[in-house]
A = this chain, B = another copy of it.
């Protein structure tokens, strides 16, 4: 069987990276020949986790078809969020926890998605079902991924299965969930050295919603004021991205990870912006809106926006 690459979405976060490492290890135990890779440099949070567990970051790839015929995707499925030449390779496996959209295959495949807090939680279930032992480092990365995606179980995407998985993984990895988790989240929220153009790209994803091309960036922060003081420059960077990529809507969600609230910065076509206001029953003031209690793009932003923009 020829080699396969395993990777998460562009702008890799801790779940995209950790789930790729986890699925690659699991698949190799089952006889596949795979390598976990990433579609960009890992962020500070992921680097903190890798360093804590003594692991090196997976290799960055730009294209998959130059190396392999077939790939496994984790933590995403939408082609617009995947490797640039995704249409040229066969997708044999997907392990995910997002909506399915902008995705298709010619052949039957293995697809495992569940509405859980992290792709790594789905993988934890797959390890349980296979009776395969999770190595300490992989367990540490999977735990980090669950903490990252659920913001230490405060996101409404959190399920009892995520908490059970985290508990089990923490005992394998030998860390205290709360203290390790807070340190890791804070390492990721250190944005002091980032330009505005970088801030709106660290955790940004593209979505097709109806006939609209929508970009949604999320900035996790411990000090919202610090970020919002830079909103004029952030908006300038967002305008540039809109012009360069013909987005109908660009939303940057600045999330207070300690208090679980967000402020949205919203730019784009008048019609699309008006639909954002309808979707969240808000009136933008200077392109900004408070979104109290919103921390999950997947559950609290994408479905609501899709419903309006698909009309």
User: A96-104, A137-145, A229-237, A266-274: which lies at the B interface?
Assistant: A96-104
| Stretch in contact with the other chain, from A60-68, A172-180, A246-254, A295-303 | A295-303
Contacts of A100 in B (CB 8 A): 100, 103-105, 109, 111
Q: Determine how close the nearest CB of chain B comes to the CB of A107; give it in whole angstroms.
A: 5
User: Is the contact region of chain A dominated by helix, strand, or loop, or is it mixed?
Assistant: loop
**Which residues of B are found within 8 Å of A306, using beta-carbon distances?**
106
Instruction: Give bound CA distance, A285 to B307, whole Å.
Output: 50
Q: Out of B103, B110, B115, B129, which one reaches A108, CB within 8 Å?
A: B115
B104 touches A108 (CB 8 A): no
A residues 117-166 in Cβ contact with B at 8 Å? 129, 157
Interface flag for A239 (CB, 8 Å): no
A113 at the interface (CB under 8 A from B): yes
A104 to B207 alpha-carbon distance, docked (Å): 12
Which residue on B lies nearest to A90, using beta carbons?
B303
Residues of the B chain whose Cβ atoms lie less than 8 Å from the Cβ of A298? 108
Q: How large is the interface on A (under 10, 10 to 19, 20 to 34, 35 or more residues)?
A: 20 to 34
Cβ-defined contact, A105 with B112, below 8 A:
no
State how many copies of this chain the complex holds.
2
Q: Which residue from chain B places its CB closest to the CB of A306 in the assembled complex? A: B106
Query: CA of A256 to CA of B173 in the docked complex: distance in angstroms?
Result: 56
Once the chains bind, are B110 and A113 in contact (CB under 8 Å)? Answer: yes
Evaluate contact between B97 and A303: CB separation under 8 angstroms.
no
Interface membership of A114, Cβ < 8 A: yes
Nearest CB of B to A278, in Å: 15
Whether the pair B115, A113 counts as a contact (CB closer than 8 A) is no
Residues of chain B lying within 8 A (CB to CB) of residue A97: 108
- 30 inter-chain pairs at a CB distance below 8 angstroms, sorted by A residue, are A97-B108, A99-B104, A99-B105, A99-B106, A99-B107, A99-B108, A100-B105, A100-B111, A101-B104, A101-B105, A102-B104, A103-B104, A106-B303, A106-B306, A106-B307, A107-B115, A107-B299, A107-B303, A108-B114, A108-B157, A109-B113, A109-B115, A110-B113, A110-B114, A110-B115, A111-B111, A111-B112, A111-B114, A112-B112, A112-B113
